[in-house]
Amino acid sequence: MQLRIAFLGLGRMGLPMAIRLARAGHDVAVWNRTAGRAAEAIAAGAHGAASAQEAVAGRPLVITMLSDPDAVLGLLDGLVLDPGATLVEMSTIGPDAVAELRKRLPAEVALVDAPVLGSVPQAEGGALHIFAGGTAEDVARCAPALSALGTVEHVGPLGDGAAVKLVVNVATINSAVLLGEALGLAARLGIAREAAFDALGRTTLGPIAGVMRPRVTASHQPTLFSLGHAEKDLRLAVAAGARPDGVIVAARRALAEAHATGLGDEDVSAIVRALADGDSSSQSG
């Protein structure tokens, strides 16, 4: 079933997702603030649009994949979607921003929040896990498109997708920060890093240690999920009600300090390396 889709936002995740949709046979119009980002999607069969408004015109399904709540709300302000269209918001923006987006959209435009679990390799391979929030009817309407990107899980009403994604990201990001601190403590105790990784691999940190070990030891690590986006996600979690004196706040502070030193565009594994190396500017205590 071919769908006419507008895809807005061709960043690190958005570009491979748009390409997947085009290669699946859908009629995809793409737009990005930096127009040059569209070239690869166009080569895969998508149509480039000169503006977001041009992209969404005549498209019953509109997908956004942007950096943060301000980017999503700012883009949608003044954008006119066709009556009866469905907006699928796939960015990590939190449930409060989803609720605000619903308020700003006309009643005749449906909204589904559908953030994803996975990074660039999963986006390229169509192996994302998609947490969808919305009515069963609205989620089903999007399924033919979303199934090209991965597995769709309808987790509840509107906003629940964004909420579940925050919870998942909190667990993953905090685990990375804890791993870095554990490695830093090991170094101060005179334990070699490889031995520390071996030992931590036998604990509940085993999965994240296995993912981070080659990234931390590599001389160069391509950014799959940026440290800056990780800090943003924990900031959203704090705003959504995380304990003000809890580990989420402490982890966010460590990420914010690392971001301030210029690591924001680096892969999130940079926080593990910084804490393991004992960078005093990246301590969460």
Instruction: Measure Cα distances from 48 to 39, 51, 118, 120, 276 in Å.
Output: 8, 9, 26, 22, 44
Residue 103 annotated in active site: no
**pLDDT of 282 higher than 80:** no
Co-location of 183 and 277 in the same domain: yes
Q: How far is 31 from 64, CA to CA, in rounded Å?
A: 10
- Percent of the chain scored above 90 by pLDDT? 94
The verdict on 150 and 15 lying in the same domain is yes
C-alpha neighbours within 13 Å on the C-beta side of residue 156: 8
HSE-up (13 A, CA, CB side) for residue 122? 13
Total structural domains in the chain?
Answer: 2
The two tokens of residue 131 are 């947490």
Determine the pLDDT at residue 284.
47
Catalytic residue among 20, 141, 165, 235: 165
Domain-terminating residue out of 101, 134, 157: 157
CA distance 31 to 75: 11
CA angle (119 as vertex; 71, 134 as ends), nearest 5: 60
CATH of the domain at 129: 3.40.50.720
CATH of the domain at 259: 1.10.1040.10
DSSP 94-141: HHHHHHHHHHHS-TTSEEEE--EE--HHHHHHT-EEEEEES-HHHHHH
Domain that holds residue 254: 164-282
pLDDT at 285: 45
> Do residues 94 and 142 share a domain?
yes
Residue 280 reports pLDDT greater than 70: no
Interatomic CA distance for residues 230 and 12, integer angstroms: 14
Q: What is the pLDDT of residues 86-145, one digit of tens each?
A: 999 999 999 999 999 999 999 999 999 999 999 999 999 999 999 999 999 999 999 999
Residue, of 251 and 219, whose pLDDT is higher: 251
The whole-model pTM stands at 0.93
Per-residue pLDDT, averaged over 51-60, amounts to 98
Mean pLDDT of 245-255: 97
Model confidence at 38: pLDDT above 50: yes
Whether the per-residue pLDDT at 260 is higher than 90: the answer is yes
For residue range 143-175, list pLDDT tens digits in order: 999 999 999 999 999 999 999 999 999 999 999
| Residue 219 shares a structural domain with residue 97 | no
Task: Give residue 220's pLDDT.
Answer: 86
